[in-house]
Amino acid sequence: MKKILLLMMLLALLVVPNVLAVEQQAGIDTQITQGEKDQFDAILSPIFKIYNFVKYIVTVVAAIFLLYAGISYMTSGNDPRKRDQAKNIAMYVIIGMLIIWASPLIIGLLI
């Protein structure tokens, strides 16, 4: 789980500077025609479909892991190691979901 979170953070760190660099090269005063906008939207359409598909699949998997963490926490009894492990699973799932669902908003704010 830690490897997945680290991989997502590394991917975000690699993508955001590239997006900002492209924006600086294009210039802020560049005017985009409607045809260029339509072409850009046509290119991005399949990417957004894949992103939405992955986002919803990951949400279902996250719900399963949250259920597992809750059951694990409830059945841990007096074992603090199991209790901490269940808390960590829940925390990583929530952080991962925040990253996945908030990434378009964060990139939108940066651009």
Contacts of 110 (CB under 8 A, 6+ apart): 16, 19, 20
Distance CA 110, CA 107 (A): 5
- pLDDT, tens digit only, all 111 positions of the chain: 667 766 777 666 666 666 555 555 555 567 778 888 888 888 888 888 998 899 999 999 999 999 999 999 999 988 999 999 999 999 999 999 999 999 888 887 876
Is the CB of residue 65 less than 8 Å from the CB of residue 86?
no
Structural domain of 109:
47-111
Decide if 13 is inside a domain.
no
Decide if 20 is inside a domain.
no
Decide if 30 is inside a domain.
no
Q: Does this model's pTM top 0.85?
A: no
Domain count within the chain? 1
Decide if 5 is inside a domain.
no
Decide if 21 is inside a domain.
no
- Indicate the DSSP class of residue 32: -
